[in-house]
Chains A and B, each alone.
Chain A
Amino acid sequence: MSGGPVGVEYTGVRELRGPLVVVEGVREVGWDEFATIVLDSGERRHGLVLDVDRDLAVVQVLEDTAGMARTGTRVAFAGTPLRIPVGPGWLGRMCDGRGEPADGGPPVLGDTRAAVGAAPINPVRREPPGEPVLTGVGAVDVLTTLVRGQKLPVFSAAGLPHLELAVQIAAQATCAGEAFAVVFAGMGLTHADAEFVRAGLAARAAARDLVLLVNTADDPVIERLLTPRLALTVAEHLAFVVGRHVLVVMTDMTAYCEALREVSAARGEIPARRAYPGYLYSDLASLYERCGRIRGRPGSVTVLPVLTMPAGDITHPVPDLTGYITEGQIVLSAEVHASGAYPPVDPLSSLSRLMRKGVGAGRTRPDHPAVAAQLTAALARSRQVRELADLIGRPALSPTDQRFLDLEDVFRRRFLAQGTDENRSMDESLNGAWDVLLTLPRGELGMIPVDLLDTRTAAREKESP
């Protein structure tokens, strides 16, 4: 992915250490500059400048230094950070974490080249997010609706099916018939997971509305820092120039942050919380804030980062700092997973702060906001009743409380549980939510307007007289 004018190649390789090459005699080389390394055999590799001290540059080689020798190795610096070609040529392609084809095709071609570290959108040019991205997953669409231009992370823990959920959302998401694309960035995935992602998104790739970038666990960590930036750069062009609504799924952001920590340690920076660099917050913001809509431009970039909370700790720096930047979260729960329900979404810890802008009449369905609010309130009451029942026993509960006690189970069976390849329409999902709510006495559904309640109850009586 180099190119451009003739560059001087540096041949003074002082040291090869792990993935690092120390080059001497360099002039005017800066941090994060992109480098092309040519071996004596003619093989080309790529790298990033990690550190510069006077005429010494430390370059991390993306493909590792195996087979490289001090003599005969030439390093050319691009003069800028990595730039990649952008355009519709990316659609349908599967590449590694630095954008090199992994599908047997030619290099991805594009007339325009864009810097992968592009700046986030200027706040004054932002158009507020609106209109939903429908995922076909009932729990997400009804209770934490994803809105175009939003950044909504999935908080998970080791052993939970977050990759299945990420792939299902990436495979099913749509924008009400408008031009749409998904950019899926996998970071630190095992080979088995990478294959699962490829197979799960095969139909979407075949339809040429998917870009798949996969950095596997055994790829160099510096590549892992590039992968989400590459994904966002490709997405921005597809959205704001080509005019598509683009969903960027990035998983696993914890693996990304660990790569950031490793590179920061190699640079000798002062470690902050849990040895992550002090700039972890601003680094994450520089990724997440690249989503949104721009006034006067078509398309949108919606970001769905997936992160695993080490030991399920929501106060860990990665989920903690992510939570400050993003607009809500979808929390997966080990308890719900243990009950056998998929997706194991904890509805009371999950929230989409921009949901109000994307639901209701003309967007999803007129009853959506009231149903979602009532369902969340009822589930909160159900949890309180469960705690009460733990103290006084079920028989001591009032008949109404007993119905609330059963509500969570009904919610999991009739609404939450869904197949990994089941694509639910918004109507099906909302009808499922109504089924759960109508197990409660009418008097307990005070958040739903009476006319809506009348229509729904009449329809139900008609169905089962």
Chain B
Amino acid sequence: MTAPADPLDPVRAALLRAAHTAADEVRDRARADAQETLRAARASADEVLARARDRGAADGAAAAAGERVRAVQDAWAAELAARAAVYAELRARVREGVRRALARGAVPQTRLAARARTLLGADAHVTAAPAGGVTGEVPGRRVDLSADALADRALERLGARAAALWEPP
């Protein structure tokens, strides 16, 4: 005689089936969710990467542009300093040349003295300047015809022709 079947077996089996089905559904949903989250995360990562790449490229371009401007500026500053040195050298050489010319007697001292007296009057006190040329003086007024003063005036009259020193021929 077989033991009587448990009348709750079909219920248990149905419940188990339902539980399995529900579990499968939950697992499928979880899997789908996980895939979706992964896909969204990947998309977002790609986006962040692209944005970072763009921003990096922009920052790099800006930094490179800034660096280029700084380099051009530095080069220009160095060129200006070189031009200033060349101009100072020109001034020194012109002064030296005028001193030598006056020492040689290219312009007689008497002619410079006469020029000083024309400007200041016949009673002007004319003295020889240490580096050549003369200075004339009356009370309250003075005329500088020294070698260096004459050289400086000549250089200033040269104007843009002095720029030929650093401009391409």
Q: In the complex, are the beta carbons of B140 and A12 less than 8 A apart?
A: yes
Point out which of A11, A107, A109, A110 has the most chain B C-beta atoms below 10 A from its C-beta: A109
Q: Does A412 contact B (CB under 8 A)?
A: no
Write out the residue numbers on chain A whose beta carbons fall within 8 Å of the beta carbon of B142. Answer: 8-11, 74
| Cβ-neighbour of B119 out of A8, A24, A105 (below 8 A) | A8
Query: Is B81 touching A104 in the complex (CB atoms < 8 A)?
Result: yes
Complex contact B119–A109 (CB within 8 A): no
On whether the beta carbons of A206 and B81 are closer than 8 Å, the reply is no
- A111 and B159 form a contact (CB under 8 A): yes
* Contact status B69-A206, CB under 8 Å: yes
Given A105-B83, A109-B162, A110-B160, answer yes or no on A206-B76 (Cβ-Cβ < 8 Å): yes
Minimum CB–CB distance for B98 against chain A, Å: 14
Given contacts A11-B141, A105-B81, contact A3 B153 (CB under 8 A): yes
Interface string of B127-169 (1 = CB under 8 A from A): 0000000000101111111000000010011011111000000
Of the listed residues A4, A11, A208, the one surrounded by the most CB atoms of chain B closer than 10 A to its CB is A11
User: Chain B, 37-62, contact with A by CB distance < 8 Å: what is the 0/1 string?
Assistant: 00000000000000000000000000
Interface presence of B115 (CB below 8 A):
yes
A25, A74, A89, A206: the one contacting B160 at CB < 8 Å is A89
Q: A238 within 8 Å of B by Cβ?
A: no
- Determine the distance from Cα of A284 to Cα of B91 in the docked complex, in whole angstroms: 40
CB-CB < 8 A to B86: which residues of A?
106
| Distance A205 CA – B72 CA, assembled complex (angstroms) | 9
How far is A87 from B80 in the complex, measured between Cα atoms in Å?
A: 17
Contact residues in B for A87 (Cβ distance below 8 Å): 160
Q: Which of A89, A104, A107, A109 contacts B77 (CB 8 A)?
A: A104
| Minimal Cβ-Cβ distance residue in A for B164 | A109
- Are the C-beta atoms of B141 and A203 separated by less than 8 Å? no
Q: Is the CB of B76 within 8 A of A205?
A: yes
CA distance A447 to B17 in the complex (A): 74
CB-nearest residue of chain B relative to A206? B72
Is A103 a contact of B69 with CB atoms below 8 Å? no
Q: List residues of A (1-57) whose CB comes within 8 Å of B's CBs.
A: 2-4, 6, 8-12, 24-25
User: In the complex, what distance in Å separates the CA atom of A405 from the CA atom of B120?
Assistant: 80
Q: How far apart are the CA atoms of A113 and B69 in the complex, in Å?
A: 32
B143-A8 in contact (CB<8A): yes
Contact A85 B120 (CB under 8 A): no
Output the nearest chain B residue to A87 by Cβ-Cβ distance: B160
Our pick among A4, A9, A109, A111 for the contact of B144 (Cβ within 8 Å) is A9
Within 8 A of A (CB), among B71-120: 72-73, 76-77, 80-81, 83-84, 86-88, 115, 119-120
Partner of A85 from the list B69, B83, B160 (CB cut-off 8 Å) is: B160
Determine if A206 and B119 form an interchain contact, defined as CB atoms under 8 angstroms apart. Answer: no
Interface of A is mostly: loop
- A167-224, CB < 8 A from B: 202-203, 205-208
Contacts of A12 in B (CB 8 A): 139-141
- Given A25-B140, A74-B142, A109-B162, A3 contacting B157 (CB threshold 8 A): yes
A344 at the interface (CB under 8 A from B): no
C-beta contact mask, A248-267 vs B, less than 8 Å → 1, else 0?
A: 00000000000000000000
Rounded to whole Å, the gap between the CB of A209 and the closest CB of chain B is 13
With beta carbons under 8 angstroms apart, the residue of B70, B80, B87, B137 that contacts A103 is: B80
The reply to whether B140 and A24 form a contact with Cβ atoms under 8 Å apart is yes
In the complex, which residue of chain A has the Cβ closest to the Cβ of B166?
Answer: A106
Question: Do B73 and A25 have beta carbons less than 8 Å apart?
Answer: no
**Is there a chain B Cβ closer than 8 Å to A92's Cβ?**
yes
Q: Tell which of B70, B87, B88, B141 touches A25, judged by Cβ atoms closer than 8 Å.
A: B141
Query: Closest approach, in angstroms, between the C-beta of B16 and any C-beta of chain A?
Result: 54
Is the beta-carbon distance between A92 and B141 smaller than 8 angstroms?
Answer: no
CA A203 to CA B67, docked complex, whole Å: 10
B153/A104 in contact, CB under 8 A: no
Q: Which residue of B73, B80, B83, B137 is within 8 Å of A206 (Cβ)?
A: B73
Q: In the complex the two chains form, is B69's CB within 8 Å of A109's CB?
A: no
| Chain A residues, CB < 8 A from B119 | 6, 8
B141–A10 CB distance below 8 A: yes
A106 contacts B87, C-beta separation under 8 Å: yes
- Shortest A387–chain B CB gap in Å is 43
* A109–B76 CB distance below 8 A: no
B72, B88, B120 interface centre (most CB from chain A within 10 Å): B72
Asked if residues A92 and B76 are in contact (CB atoms below 8 Å), the reply is yes
State in angstroms the CA–CA spacing of A24 and B73 once bound together: 47
Contacts of A11 in B (CB 8 A): 137, 140-142
Interface residues of A in 209-250 (CB under 8 A from B): none
Residues of B within 8 A of A103 (CB): 77, 80
Given A3-B153, A25-B140, A109:B73 Cβ within 8 A: no
Which residues from B are CB-within-8-Å of A104?
77, 80-81, 84
Using A106-B83, A110-B159 as known contacts, list a sample of 7 further A-B pairs with CB atoms less than 8 Å apart, ordered by residue number in A.
A11-B141, A74-B142, A89-B160, A104-B80, A104-B81, A105-B80, A110-B160
List the interface of chain B (C-beta within 8 A of A).
69-70, 72-73, 76-77, 80-81, 83-84, 86-88, 115, 119-120, 137, 139-145, 153, 156-157, 159-163
The 8 residue pairs across chains A and B that have the minimum distance between CB atoms:
A105-B80, A3-B156, A25-B140, A106-B87, A12-B140, A206-B72, A111-B160, A9-B142
